[in-house]
Structure 1
Amino acid sequence: MQEKSLAITKVNQGVYAKARLSRDPRFDGQFFVAVKTTGIFCRPICPAKLPKEENVTYFTHATTAMAKGFRPCYRCRPDSAPQSSAWEGVNTTLSRAMKLLSALPIQSVAHISSRLGISERYLNKLMISAVGISPKQFQNMQRALFAKQLIQQSALSFTDIAHTASYDSLRQLQRAIAQYCNTTPSALRKTKASAHNDITLFLSYRPPYDWAYVRAFLSMRAISGMENVTENSYQRWFNLQGDVGYVRVEHVNARNGFAVTINIPDLSHLHSIIENIKGMLDLNADPALIKHSLVQAGLSENEVLSGIRLPSAWSVFESGCRAILGQQVSVKAAIGQVSLLVHTLGAKAKTAKTDNPDTIHTNASNCSVSGENAYCFPTPESVALADLRFLRMPDARREALRRFAQLFTENSSPEHSEILALKGVGSWTLDYIKMRGERQPDVYLEGDLIVRKMAALHPVEPEKAAPWRSYLTLQLWKLSDNAQGKIENKERKKEKDK
C-alpha cells in the first residue's frame, strides 16, 4: 500500500475548524487543537473558552503536538481521547508499528523493526513521515501520556506509576512529566495516593455507542462465575501470566465512556489490560464511518445499528476455544460447553481466605460475579493436558480443542496457516478467531449459516463494506435476531388469541 502521512491538509483544516467550534464529540480523538498563545493542546471537546482560529493549529496525533512543543491540557486530558479510527489512509506496517511502540513494557526499536520485518532505518522513515518524530521519541511520549493518565485518574503512588509506565525510577518519571507536560507529578494529582488495590480510570469512546447491543451480545455469551453482565456494567475475572485479576466496566452514557475498575497484583500488566479493555469494547471505532460503509454495501439506513461495535473475546485463545466448542451448535449450547470447560479447568479466585491450595486469592473489593468462587478462563497448558471427556461432544471436536490448546502452548501467537492446518478447524473457525479474538475489523463470515440466510434476504455486496466487513457480519446476525423476535411475538399473540 502506498505510504501516506498523517499531516493536516487544507481540506481537513476547514473540517476540523467547524468540528472544533461545534465541540462535536464524534470528532474526539481524530485530531487535536493546539493553541499558539498558550502552548497547550486539547481535544476538540475541551470545555475551555474557544480560542480564535488564527491562534490554533491542528494535529492528528497527540505526540506530534508534543513534538512541536505543546503540552497536554489538564482539563480535557488528551491522553484519555479515543484513538483515531484505525488510522485511515495509513499503511498496515505503520499501524502495527504505532501499536508496538505504544506497548508497555517498552521494547527496543530494533526488536520492533524485526517483528515488523523491516529495517530500523525504514521504521524511522515511516514514523517521521507520519508523526514527525523518531520511533524512540514516540515511545517516550506515549508512556509519558500514559503516566499522566494514571497520575490524574488513579490513586496509585508515584512510585507505582513509575514502575507501571516502565520508568526505572521516580526521578525518571518526574523528568518525563517535566519535559512533556511542563509540570510535576504532584501538580497534576488531585487525589491522594492510596494503598487500595482497585485502580479506577475513565475510558472514552466516539459516540454514538450502542451499549444495549454490546450488553446483549456479551450477556448472551457470558460464562457464569467468570463474567457478569448487568444493565450498565460488564465484569470478569482473568488470568494473565499466572496473575489473577478482576475488571469491571460501567457505561456512563452522559460522558461518552466507561468508568473502569481494575484489580491486579502485578502493575506491570496494567497498560496491556487497559488496551485489552479498549479492544474488547471497541472503544476506538468510528461509528459514522462504519455505518456509511454498511449502507454502501446495500443495507438501508434504518437497518444499520447506530453506534454498532464489535464486542470481542478477552484473548485469541479464548475466542478459539469458544469457536471450536460452538461448531455446528446454537449459541446457548456452545456457552454450556464453554462454561463446563471453565468450571472444570479454570483457576479459581476467591476474595475470602480458604485452605484450598488450588484457589488463587485476590483483594478485589468491588466484585459482584455470582457464586462462592470466581473462575478464570483456563490456560492453554491446562486444556492441552486435561482429559476432556467431561465435554459432551464428539471425540473429533474434543481432539480439535486439545490440538488447538497444544498449538498455543508452543507459540502464544501462532500463524493463521498453523491454526487452519489443525484437523477439525475450518475456515469458519479461523474467521471467527480473527474477528472476535484478533479484533480484525474486515472479516466477513460468509461460511456462517445465519449470515448466508440474512444476506439472501437483505441483498448486500460485502466487498463494498470493506474495510468494515466484521461489522456487516454482526449487523446480519442482529437482523436475524430481529426477525426471530418478530416470529416469537406473532406466536405469542396467536396463543393469546386462542
Structure 2
Amino acid sequence: MTATAQRTAHEDSRSEDSRYEAVRSRDARFDGAFFFAVRTTGIYCRPSCPAITPKRHNVRFFATAAAAQGSGFRACRRCRPDAVPGSAEWNVRADLVGRAMRLIGDGVVDREGVTGLAGRLGYSARQVQRQLTAELGAGPVALARAQRAHTARVLLQTTGLPVTEIAFAAGFASVRQFNDTIRAVYAATPSDVRAAAPAADRAAARTATPSAGVPLRLAHRGPYQAGPVFDLLQREAVAGIEEVAGPPGRRRYRRTLRLPHGTGIVAVEEHRETRGGSGGGWLDARLHLTDLRDLTTSVQRLRRLFDLDADPYAVDERLGADPRLAPLVAARPGLRSPGTADPAELALRSLAGHAAAERLVERYGEALDAPCGTLTHLFPEPAVLAEAEPDGPVGALAAALADGTVRLDPGADRDDAERALLAVPGMDARTAAVVRTRALGDPDTAPPDPTVPDSWRPWRSYAVNHLRAAGDWEQDR
C-alpha cells in the first residue's frame, strides 16, 4: 500500500470512528448528514435512532439512504431515516455532485430521466453516474428511487388515496415497480406501511377528503428561528399570490405554486418557539395540489424557501467566533437564510420592486381555476412578461429567463448565473447578490460592501441576515 493510500485509509477510519461516536451518543445534529446500517439486522438508521447501539464491527456507514438501500438494507421503522432533513452539504457545494443532488431533489430524474439531468449539468450521463456513485454510493436512478419511496410512504400514511393512485403520484412507472420498491425499502407491503402510521394519522387519513390536501411535517435540524423568516415573508407578500395572517408566533403563510404538472396552494405554520430544541423539529404544512405527481417537487421547493436543510450548528459555530456577530448568534441560534419557491419569480420581483410586482400579477398573472380566499393568481411566467412588457429591465430579465440566457434552476452554476444576471440591462450588483442568495440558495453571498469580511465565509449570507435581524443592516442596503 502506498503512503497516500495508507493516509487515506487512516483518515477514513478516523472519520468512521467519529461517526460511530455520534451514533453511540444518538446525536441528532448528524441526522441526514450520514446513515448507518447494522449487518446483523439488515436495517439502516439515522444517527439519533433510540434503539440499542450496535457493536462497532457490525456497523456500516453511508452518505445517502439510497446507498444503504442499494446495499440491501431496509429502513428502520422506529427512527424513520427517510424522514430526516436533507444534507446541508448539497446546498453548500457548487460542484457537479451538489448541483446534481439539488436537481434530483426537484424531481428532474422522474420527469426527464438521467439524460435530462446530465444535459442540465453539462456532462454526459456516464460521467454523472460515475461521479455520484463514486462519492455517494448510489447513482441518480437509485437516489430518485429512494426519494419516490419516501413520497409514497407520506401519501400512504397521510391520505386515504387508493394504492394505485399513490404509485403514480409518487413517480413510479408501474404498480409492480411501486410494490417492489416499498418491499425492498421498508420490508413491508404498501398496506403494512399504511397500517404502521400513528393511530391519529390513520384516523385523519380515513376521514380526509381530496380537498383537505396533504398534511406534512417539514423537518429541520437544530433550533429554528421562525419569527425572522415569517417577518420577511410578511413584508414581501405580493397580493394575489401570497398572504401572511395571524398574530406573531402563530402566523400562517400561504402562497400559490406553479409546478411541472399543475398548480398548488401551500400553507405553512409559524411556531413561536424553536421547536425541537437541539435535536431539531418541524414546521407544519398542508399542500393542495391539482396533480399529486408534484408532491416531491413542491416539498423540495418549500424546503429551500424556509432553508430547512441548513446546518445551524456549523453556521453558529463559525459566526459565533466573530466578536461582532457573537452576541447576535447567541440571541438568535438557528437563524436561517430564506430562499424561494420559484427562482424566476424571485428574480423578477427583486428587480421590479414590491409595487411593480403586484401590478404585474394583477395585469398578467394566470388566474387559478379555483381561487382560495385572497389567493387568486400565479405569478406571470417570464415568457408572458417578455412579450407583454418587452421594454425596460424587467422585460429584459424576463426574456433572458425565458430563452435560457439566465438559468436559475436548482442545478444552475452560481457563478455563471451571476455573470448572466449582471449582463442584463438594469441589473445591479446588489440585486444580483439577492438573487444569488435566495434564488440559487448560496449560503456564502454578500452584497458588495466593505463591511462584510472574508472571515465570515462560508456563511456570509447568514451573517448578513443576523445583522438585518438585529437592525444593524438596512433592508435595502
- TM-score, normalised via structure 2 length: 0.81
* Matched AA of 2:469: K
Alpha-carbon spacing, 1:106–1:72, altered in 2? closer, same or farther (3 Å): farther
CA distance in 2, matches of 1:338, 1:410: 21
**Gaps (5+ residues) in structure 2?**
1-7, 196-201, 408-416
- Among 324, 341, 349, which residue is 1:314 paired with? 341
CA distance in 2, matches of 1:226, 1:100: 25
1:401 aligns with 2:394: yes
CA distance in 2, matches of 1:237, 1:87: 26
1:161 aligns with 2:166: yes
* Matched AA of 1:286: D
CA distance in 2, matches of 1:113, 1:242: 21
- Among 284, 288, 296, which residue is 1:263 paired with? 288
Is this contact kept in 2: 1:37–1:55, CA < 8 A? yes
1:293 aligns with 2:318: yes
* Matched AA of 2:75: P
- Among 223, 227, 235, which residue is 1:208 paired with? 223
Is this contact kept in 2: 1:80–1:149, CA < 8 A? no
The aligned residue for residue 392 of structure 1 is none
CA distance in 2, matches of 1:284, 1:444: 20
CA distance in 1, matches of 2:38, 2:334: 31
The aligned residue for residue 235 of structure 2 is 220
Matched pairs, number:
434
Alpha-carbon spacing, 1:344–1:119, altered in 2? closer, same or farther (3 Å): closer
- Among 392, 413, 423, which residue is 1:421 paired with? 423
1:477 aligns with 2:463: no
CA distance in 2, matches of 1:439, 1:59: 25
> Deviations along 1:321-344, whole A, 9 cap, x unmatched?
222123xxxxxxxx3333333234
- Among 441, 444, 467, which residue is 2:443 paired with? 441
1:383 aligns with 2:408: no
CA distance in 2, matches of 1:124, 1:341: 42
The aligned residue for residue 181 of structure 1 is 186
Alpha-carbon spacing, 1:431–1:206, altered in 2? closer, same or farther (3 Å): same
Is this contact kept in 2: 1:106–1:139, CA < 8 A? no
* Matched AA of 1:16: R
Question: What's the RMSD between the two structures over aligned residues?
Answer: 3.0
* TM alignment of 1:78-477, pairs within 5 A: 78-87=81-90, 92-104=95-107, 105-190=110-195, 191=202, 195-197=209-211, 198-229=213-244, 230=246, 231-232=249-250, 233-240=252-259, 243-251=262-270, 253-254=275-276, 256-295=281-320, 299-304=324-329, 305-326=332-353, 335-349=354-368, 360-361=369-370, 371=374, 374-386=376-388, 399-411=392-404, 414=407, 415-446=417-448, 455=451, 461=453, 463-477=454-468
CA distance in 1, matches of 2:26, 2:386: 52
Shifted more, 266-275 versus 470-479: the winner is 470-479
2:448 match: secondary structure: coil
Is this contact kept in 2: 1:251–1:257, CA < 8 A? no
Shifted more, 206-215 versus 153-162: the winner is 153-162
Alpha-carbon spacing, 1:241–1:85, altered in 2? closer, same or farther (3 Å): closer
* Matched AA of 2:258: N
CA distance in 2, matches of 1:403, 1:248: 33
Is this contact kept in 2: 1:71–1:180, CA < 8 A? yes
Shifted more, 435-444 versus 233-242: the winner is 233-242
Is this contact kept in 2: 1:79–1:149, CA < 8 A? no
- TM-score, normalised via structure 1 length: 0.78
Is this contact kept in 1: 2:92–2:442, CA < 8 A? no
Q: Report deviation, 1:295.
A: 3.7
1:32 aligns with 2:47: no
> Deviations along 1:364-391, whole A, 9 cap, x unmatched?
xxx6x5x4x5333222234334469xxx
CA distance in 2, matches of 1:14, 1:158: 42
* Matched-pair identity in %: 30
Shifted more, 150-159 versus 39-48: the winner is 150-159
* Matched AA of 1:196: P
1:108 match: secondary structure: helix
2:221 match: secondary structure: coil
1:64 aligns with 2:67: yes
Q: Report deviation, 1:281.
A: 0.5
Alpha-carbon spacing, 1:46–1:102, altered in 2? closer, same or farther (3 Å): same
* Matched AA of 1:209: Y
1:303 match: secondary structure: helix
Alpha-carbon spacing, 1:297–1:315, altered in 2? closer, same or farther (3 Å): farther
Q: Report deviation, 1:204.
A: 0.7
Alpha-carbon spacing, 1:405–1:152, altered in 2? closer, same or farther (3 Å): same
Alpha-carbon spacing, 1:195–1:153, altered in 2? closer, same or farther (3 Å): closer
